[in-house]
Chains A and B, each alone.
Chain A
Amino acid sequence: MPVISLFAWMLVIAFLAFIACMFEDLESDIGSQSNPNSQVQLAPEMGYIHRYFNKAISGEGLSYGLSCTISGTIAMLILLQLGSVGPKAAVLAIPVGAAVGSLVHMVRSSTCHVGRESAHKRFEQPIYLDVFYGHLLPIATHNFMAVICITAIAYIQCNLGILSGVTGASNPFPLPLLCLIWGLTVGAIGSSTGDIHYGTERVFQDKPFGEGRRVVYHGQICRYGDCGVRTSKDVAAFCAKFGGPATGLAFGLIVLFENWRTVIGMLLGGLSIGGLANPAVAAAWGIGIGIGIAIVLVILARTLEKWTRNKYGPFVGE
């Protein structure tokens, strides 16, 4: 029974990862963080005044590292203070920590918009106050959803031994450090997977299909929406249909495969309530299954790419 509950907790972690990365991607789209930001930054310099929110805190990985680490630190301190209550203290600690983390994130993003737009003085880019105020709350709420999931994942990993009843299943890293690692990871996946969708589908529409971003088109972002002038909030509503869930799926699958291969390896290594009977066998099986999954994914990706190139190619410049 404890072994099954261990597997159940790992599925919970994968589900939380899916939610976290989906909201992370949508949050980064509200405010053009990361890669698409370079074109939003260039637009006024090329004469295209826009109403996008310029949220250049840093790359997504680092900014999520910040809010998740602060959340994890606050949660850890509350857990230490309420140590006598036991695991129930997490019900208070995780949301409060996430609230503080997303508050800090909101403050950081508020400084970004005014900072970058006032540095565009000579290009006549004004600061639109409705854009500035209107984006702060969506940023904070989406960030809260992502950070609370990441903090919960870190908490579950930290206390997996107690929660599942299997000795030695807890992660040896402390809560804030796990939050930092997970924050950097969720930001990295959200950036690498989600930005492509946001950028190509919504911001850089003025280019031939399959072509890279030519210098001629630099700064020529899509500034008008279906009706009226587009702001970053409208982009989030669009990306919530496909880009966000796709990004969440990417991260959720990574976490799922990672946990799945570890648990299968542990089962083959003789997992019981007392811990692992044979750690070396467990590690070997885990690594072997991991390599197998990677090979299958590479073959699938290559097949898909070949099919796409045959069907829609040849692309410009090929």
Chain B
Amino acid sequence: MGEEEAKQEEKEEKAKPKEEFKLSFDYFNESRLGIFALTIGVLMAIFPGLPAFIKGVGIMIVFAWGADSVRKTARYGLGTGVPSIGVLAMGFGIIGGITGIAVASLSFGTLVVGGVEIAFGVLAGVVLLALLGFVSGNLANGDKFINMKIPGLERGMMELGMAGTLAVLIETSIVAGTYDITRVLPSVIDNGVIAVIFIISAFGMLQPLNTCLGADERRGRTLLMSIEIGGIAGIILGIVTTLTLSAFEGVPLIVLGAVVWVVFYRAYMKACMEEAYAVKGTGLIKTLGG
């Protein structure tokens, strides 16, 4: 009994720092976050007529999902491979995004119900990339092929493909306001905005785990950062949208991005400072066990 009590005490002590922060991801475990983000992401993606700042919330949630998938895939010791996994996600994302936009631009890809545009076609890209991700995960993990034996790689790859595709789709619809290829090409691809969409979404997914990597990495802290990068993405895309669409669409997105960035940057920094071994103004170094 005595040992069990001691263990319980230990558990309580470990659980304490989680309760101190209001911004917690304890409810959204890996599966719940995935389902929630997929639902929200698909809803944001198929209604290109939504205001830009609502879609801005969508990309933050999708970033958090992508970062969680990268964490799932890479935490089993893929040290230097973490950035590669994030870039892989966005490579998937660009393929899926272009496929989705192409299908949505076809006559049957977009329905107009009562003046509201519903672009079902983009789901083709999401489904394609879910399949592609599953196949590539199986190729990498399967006994007959590369046989890497990383637990949960198939699921991780599938989620990465879907998260990347949704990020590209939502960001494209923020900047262009529609999935019509005749308007997407000049305002997203020809002027090179696709480059900033690619790199900032990749960072939203790859940087959180790469930055927080270590023995005492905590999921809640890691995911705070993905939303913080979502804030920066909101500011940059807001500036782009102000010029490509209108200030009416862009300025609320800039404000949302700035507020989210300040709140989540503070929360992340506070979490790190409080959970570190010690925060010292300055000091000399020591060698443990030597």
Chain A positions within 8 Å of B, measured between CB atoms, are 38, 41, 45, 47-51, 56-59, 62, 65-66, 69-70, 72-74, 76-77, 80-81, 104, 107-108, 111-112, 114-130, 173-180, 223, 229
Contacts and interface: CB of A to CB of B under 8 A. Distances in A.
B280 A59 contact: no
A104 B192 CA distance: 19
Contacts of B265: 107, 111
Given A70-B196, A81-B243, A128 B280 contact: yes
Interface string B210-245: 111111110001000100100010001001100100
Interface of B: 79-80, 82-83, 86-87, 190-196, 198-200, 202-203, 206-207, 210-217, 221, 225, 228, 232, 236, 239-240, 243, 265, 268-269, 271-273, 275-290
Contact of B288 (A49, A74, A118, A223): A49
B272 A114 contact: yes
Contact of B276 (A50, A126, A179, A180): A126
Contacts of A73: 192-193, 195-196, 236, 240
Nearest to B275: A118
A66 B281 contact: no
Contact of B191 (A49, A111, A130, A174): A174
A127 B280 contact: yes
Contacts of B206: 58, 62
Contacts, number: 179
Interface of B is mostly: helix
A120 B206 CA distance: 20
Contact of A76 (B191, B221, B281, B282): B191
Contact of A122 (B83, B215, B268): B215
Given A48-B287, A120-B215, A130-B282, A62 B199 contact: yes
A291 B83 CA distance: 33
A49 B272 CA distance: 18
Closest 3 CB pairs of A and B: A119-B214, A174-B192, A176-B192
Given A49-B287, A58-B83, A122-B215, A72 B239 contact: no
A118 B273 contact: yes
B277 A70 contact: no
